[in-house]
């Protein structure tokens, strides 16, 4: 495949605010930066019914 086609498959072009999109659809969402934050948010999400989005920033 040519480079133009491959570039369309990248998830960072354009930069997408997944948390804002999720919240806009009524789904609780948080971005985390550490394993500790991830553990806290995962426990919170599992304690509540319904979908949740946790974005792990690497």
- Tell me the helix, strand and coil percentages in the chain, rounded to 5: 45, 15, 45
Residues recorded for the chain: 58
Q: Considering the entire predicted model, what is its pTM?
A: 0.75
d(CA 49, CA 45): 8
- The residues, any chain, with a CB within 8 Å of residue 56's CB and separated by 6 or more, are 31, 32, 38
> Tens digit of pLDDT for each residue in 1-55?
577 788 778 777 778 899 999 999 999 999 999 999 999 999 999 999 999 999 9
């Amino acid at each position: 495949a040519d480079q133009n086609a491959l570039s369309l498959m990248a998830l960072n072009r354009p930069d997408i605010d997944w948390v804002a999109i999720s919240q806009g659809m009524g789904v609780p969402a948080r971005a985390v930066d550490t394993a500790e934050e991830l553990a806290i948010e995962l426990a919170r999400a599992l304690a509540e019914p319904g979908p949740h989005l946790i974005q792990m920033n690497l």
